[in-house]
Amino acid sequence: MSLISVQLSNLLNLIAEKVGSFGLSIIIITLCLKIILAPLNVRQMKISKLMNAVNKEVSASLETRKLETQEEESKIRGEMEDSLLPDLNQHFMGQVAVKGIDLQFSIIILFVNLFIFMLLSWVSFTKREVTV
């Protein structure tokens, strides 16, 4: 982690020397990162539009389907609730278990969990149980 921060600090200082302002150098670095990540954002928007179209088709087909009994309806609802796994597929399928949670928040939570577990595993595996 320190390698990235050192490199970004060096880049920030280099741009600040050329431009003459740290504020402007932060803006330049931010714009460069936005430009680099723009293709990923465009791809995400395309996938989101496709998934919305698929979700509308699925909703339309579910509305046209006639349920014979109340038991069958409750069985289908139970299956849909069971299929809401805690993964990113729920965002693409439009069946978010908790309202108000978007894809970016879920990804941030996944990375935070990844960092915590990587840190815990590093601490536990580098700990020496026997001293020589």
pLDDT at 42: 86
CA distance 101 to 105: 6
Helices (H), the chain: 2-19, 22-64, 70-82, 89-93, 103-126
**DSSP letter assigned to residue 20:** S
CA distance 28 to 105: 26
pLDDT > 90: what percent of the chain? 10
> Does the structure show a pLDDT above 60 at 70?
no
A 10 A CB-CB count for 93 gives 14
pTM to 2 decimals?
0.39
> Does the structure show a pLDDT above 50 at 120?
yes
**pLDDT tens-digit readout, 10-66:** 999 999 999 988 889 999 999 998 999 888 888 888 888 888 888 888 877 776 765
3-class SS at 17? helix
3-class SS at 5? helix
